[in-house]
Amino acid sequence: MTAINDFLAMGGYALFVWPAFGLAAVVLVGLWLGSHRRLRASRRALSLIEPERRARGGEP
């Protein structure tokens, strides 16, 4: 159990290390959510445009 406590203490730098890990995780999740939402919006817009293009005789 001491090894785990030593690891979590990060040699006395835990006050700086763990918030940095937390902030990095928040940023990565935010980037993923933004990308996912933008992808869904792009697919939705494409699904609205695609029938019009096919009706005009565009490529399938």
Distance, in Å, from the CA atom of 17 to the CA atom of 4, rounded to the nearest integer, reads 15
For the chain, the distance separating the N- and C-terminal CA atoms, rounded to the nearest angstrom, is 63
Q: In terms of residue numbers, what domain contains 39?
A: 2-55
For residue 7, is it within any domain? yes
- The helix/strand/coil state of 58 is coil
Asked whether the beta carbons of 34 and 40 are under 8 A apart, the reply is no
- 22 band by pLDDT with thresholds 50, 70 and 90: very high
For residue 6, is it within any domain? yes
For residue 60, is it within any domain? no
Q: Is the pLDDT of residue 59 over 70?
A: no
Q: What is the pTM of this model?
A: 0.70
Give me the mean pLDDT over the 37-53 stretch. 93
Tally the domains of the chain: 1
